Amino acid sequence: MPRVYHRPRATNRSRRRGSTSVDTSPTVDIEPKTVTHKEQLLIIPAILTVKQLADLLAVSPIEVIKHLMKNGVMASINQTIDYTTAAVVASDFGYETKEEPESEALLGPVPSEEAGPQARLEEEGAKPRPPVITIMGHVDHGKTRLLDAIRKTNVMAGEAGGITQHIGAYQVEIRNQKITFLDTPGHEAFTAMRARGARVTDIAVLVVAADDGVMPQTLEAIDHARAAGVPIVVAINKIDKPEANLELVKKQLADAGILIEEWGGDVVCVPVSARMGQGIPDLLENLLIVAEMAELKANPIRPAVGVVIEAELDSSRGPLATVLVQNGTLKVGDSVVLGSTWGRIKAMFDDKGKRVKRAEPATPVVIMGLGGVPQAGDFLRVVESEKLARAEVQQRQRRTEQTPISMKAFSLDELSMQIEAGQVKELNIILKTDVQGSIDPIKSSLERLSTEKARVKIIHATTGNINESDVMLALASQGIIIGFNARPEPGARRLAEVGGVDIRVYDVIYNLVEDVERALSGLKEPTYVEIVEGHAQVRQVFPIGKRYKVAGVYVSDGKIGRGTMARVLRRGQTVWEANINSLKRFKDDVREVMAGFECGIGIEGYNDYEEGDVIEVYRKEKADAG
């Protein structure tokens, strides 16, 4: 394995010395240096100037220009080049290269034994930073009120209906130690940012109401926090209520796999009352202890990198973005790139609306001066100039047009190849079933399939149809979704198609387990995929004779064809599945009916239609083995 090596920037003095040692030999006679660096991996940004490349290679810019000319590229010292061009020049100097991931700067210092000189400088400049904490849990369990009690400000009063409608980032100071809080509208936003590669949270605080206990969204929040690999601290809220039952909540948490310290586990649990202010100091104390154990560090000296928490277009101030600085220091006047937009920071505001000139690691700020509105989860990076920022965004847009979305989950069919290549150690599964009783037997059957090469891991299991939150979790965790008598909702199906998430639906447990076992063992057998062709809503039921009924329907999307397979869905659950044997428009038999029209449908062997039923038409095709 090549050793990762970041060449330190040359000092002005060394640059001046390098610029005087000009090779006067003709361009065509240039040969690569005899000294090779194949044991060192040079990390090169997607866009950089000729001068920056020379600094990375520790050679004169003139040397770089000569090698560019040799390869047919004419560029001046301050002109920008892309990674591919820079890699060719670096190869001439004997380096192996790798393109710098957009999020690499967010990952923190590399251990000294593995790091090159630049990485060691990053580590030496690293200092303790405040923890970033996300508040998660079921709706109306007091997440925002708890944060309100911590900040001692009335944020909740400004929310519509007292429910959080947006993502907010806030910072508090406890005994001269800062803590940054993210207040989210739910785990979906938390996972959506993580699906885009944005790792913003150090600790997740799970808020559970003492009078309500562990609820479905509580379980989902637990699974999303676990999938993110962050430590969980439990805050049992509303302990002041007469109906509060702490022991019941602790038992429910244990059943969900959250074993608190009091019960012999390692999860910190603090009883609090956000309304009364009870237990808040104890909660903050424990958060600082958990953060101290994590040894969170960042380098405030380097140029800033961070992530967009939220963004909006203000009618008077233009595009605004709330960003969380994760490494380095962000300053007014910095030129920045944020996803597909760029700008020069004209002003910054802290969480209280006060103007600030700089923001250090783990500090949330609102920035002004962007050319457009970025998306939540976009990475922020400081670059040397507006010109370089503009060039980088343009290059990024060209690459986006040429390449498909890179953040895609793999399918079950691809699993065997991934395992053989050593790229997959775990198969993450989101399991959705029709009834609670099906979860445990399916989980145990799947987990028993784990092999030495890959382990089956059920990261989320619950009842109900497959929704968009499930797809986002699969995308973020590079997993697949398995439904047992559970159908994907239309929005979830569309999102899965865009993200490449594999959704498998079964009605027989044996078939479900057999498919996963084949994938893990590398067996290649024909598989079939289900293609939904359309949906129709039952608006009226017509009796035909004494025993036969047809459904008068409105085709809401796609098309309905005679002879195709169809299933009758009632409140999201399948009640019948067979071929369409009758399809009429008025009194005429027709072959198919398109969206926007009404028709009469008869399904083989079925007469129990009800108004409000949905008829889903589909076909099965053999999956492409390649």
Measured from the Cβ of residue 44, the count of other Cβ atoms closer than 10 Å reads: 25
Position 398 confidence tier, pLDDT thresholds 50, 70, 90: low
Report the pLDDT value the prediction gives residue 28, as an integer from 0 to 100: 36
Kindly tell me the burial class for residue 4, based on how many C-beta atoms sit within 10 Å of its own C-beta (0-12, 13-18, 19 or more): middle
- CATH, residue 515: 3.40.50.10050
Q: Rounded distance, CA 103 to CA 199, Å? A: 9
Each residue of 491-508: pLDDT tens digit? 888 888 877 788 888 888
The per-residue pLDDT for 411 is 67
For the chain, the residue count is: 626
Q: Buried b / exposed e across 417-452, counting CB within 10 Å, b at 16+?
A: ebbeeeebeebbbbbbbbeeebbeebbebbeebeee
Give the pLDDT mean for 383-401. Answer: 76
Cβ 300 vs Cβ 326: under 8 Å: no
- Indicate the residue among 377, 402, 427 that finishes a domain: 402
Regarding whether 464 and 428 lie in a shared domain, the answer is yes
318 in the same domain as 462: no
Domain assignment of residue 116, yes or no = no
Quote the percentage of the chain above a pLDDT of 70. 77
Band of pLDDT at residue 139, cut at 50, 70 and 90: confident
CATH number at residue 375: 2.40.30.10
Residue 282 falls inside a structural domain: yes
Q: Is 329 helix (H, G, I), strand (E, B) or coil?
A: strand
Please give the average per-residue pLDDT across 172-193, as a whole number: 70
Beta bridge partners of 208: 236
The confidence score (pLDDT) of residue 247 equals 92
pLDDT mean over 479-489: 89
Q: How far is CA 590 from CA 553, 560, 593, 595, in A?
A: 14, 10, 7, 14
What pLDDT score was predicted for residue 119?
43
In a domain, 409, yes or no: no
- Residue 228 makes CB contacts below 8 A (sequence gap 6+) with 190, 191, 194, 199, 201, 204, 476
3-state secondary structure at position 89: helix
As a whole number of angstroms, the distance between CA 103 and CA 380 comes to 9
pLDDT band, very low/low/confident/very high, at 17 (cuts 50, 70, 90): very low
- Given a cut of 50, whether residue 291 has pLDDT beyond it is yes
Mean pLDDT, the chain, integer: 78
Range in 71-75, 485-489, 580-584 with the lowest mean pLDDT? 71-75
- pLDDT tens column, 234-273: 999 999 999 999 999 999 999 888 999 988 889 999 999 9
Beta strands 598-603 and 548-561, pairing class = antiparallel
Residue 283 included in any domain: yes
What range defines the domain where residue 377 resides?
305-402
Q: In the structure, what pLDDT confidence band is assigned to residue 624 with cuts at 50, 70 and 90?
A: low
**Separation in Å, CA 56 to CA 5, 8, 211, 364, 375:** 10, 7, 60, 31, 31
Q: Which residue has the higher pLDDT, 22 or 309?
A: 309
CB atoms within 10 A of CB 228: 20
Q: Do 261 and 161 share a structural domain?
A: yes
Q: Which helix (H) or strand (E) segment is 481 a member of?
A: strand 480-484
In a domain, 545, yes or no: yes
- Total of domains in the chain: 5
Which among 41-55, 64-78, 132-146, 550-564 has the top mean pLDDT?
A: 550-564
Q: What are phi and psi of 141, to 5 degrees?
A: -95, 5
CA distance 561 to 583: 8
- The reply to whether 551 and 456 lie within a common domain is no
Would you state the pLDDT for residue 471?
86
pLDDT surpasses 70 at 16: no
- Looking at residue 104, its pLDDT comes to 43
Span 44-59, average pLDDT: 82
Report how far residue 510's alpha carbon sits from residue 304's, in angstroms, rounded to the nearest whole number: 53
CA 224, CA 446: separation in Å to the nearest integer? 20
Last residue of a domain, one of 525, 551, 582: 525
List % helix, strand, coil for the chain (3-state, nearest 5). Answer: 30, 35, 35
Does residue 387 fall inside a structural domain? yes
Residues 137 and 283 in one domain: yes
Torsion angles phi and psi, residue 165, rounded to 5 = -105, -5
321 in the same domain as 283: no
Domain-ending residue, one of 100, 122, 144: 100
pLDDT at 473 over 70: yes
The pLDDT assigned to 115 comes to 37
Residues 142 and 283 in one domain: yes
What is the percent of the chain with per-residue pLDDT over 90, rounded to a whole number? 21
Q: Please check the confidence at residue 359 and state whether its pLDDT lies above 90.
A: yes
More confident of the two residues 277 and 117: 277
CATH of the domain at 215: 3.40.50.300
The predicted structure's pLDDT at residue 192: 60
Any idea which residue has 């049992």 for tokens? Answer: 236
| The pLDDT of residue 233 is above 90 | yes
Question: DSSP E strands: which ranges in 124-274?
Answer: 127-128, 132-137, 168-174, 177-183, 203-209, 232-237, 268-271
Claim to verify: residue 349 and residue 281 sit in the same structural domain: no
Residue 407 lies in a domain: no
Within this chain, do residues 500 and 594 fall inside the same structural domain, yes or no?
A: no
The answer to whether residues 463 and 547 belong to one domain is no
Residue type, 323: V
For residue 37, pLDDT over 80 is answered with no
User: What mean pLDDT do residues 51-62 have?
Assistant: 84
Q: How many CA atoms lie within 13 A of 507 on its CB side?
A: 7
Q: Flag whether 109 is in a domain.
A: no
pLDDT at 367: 94
Q: What is the DSSP string of 498-544?
A: HHT--EEEES-HHHHHHHHHHHHHT-----EEEEEEEEEEEEEEEEE
Instruction: Write out pLDDT tens, residues 243-252.
Output: 999 999 999 9
Taking residues 511-535, report their average pLDDT. 75
Summarize the confidence of residues 299-313 as an average pLDDT.
Answer: 88
Which residues, in sequence order, are bridge partners of residue 576? 568
Q: Which pLDDT score, from 0 to 100, does residue 195 have? A: 54
Q: What is the mean pLDDT of residues 434-455?
A: 82
Residues 440 and 517 in one domain: yes
Whole-number pLDDT of residue 187? 52
Does one domain contain both 189 and 279? yes
SS3 sequence of 354-416:
CEECEECCCEEEEEEEECCCCCCCCEEEEECCHHHHHHHHHHHHHHHHHCCCCCCCCCCCCHH
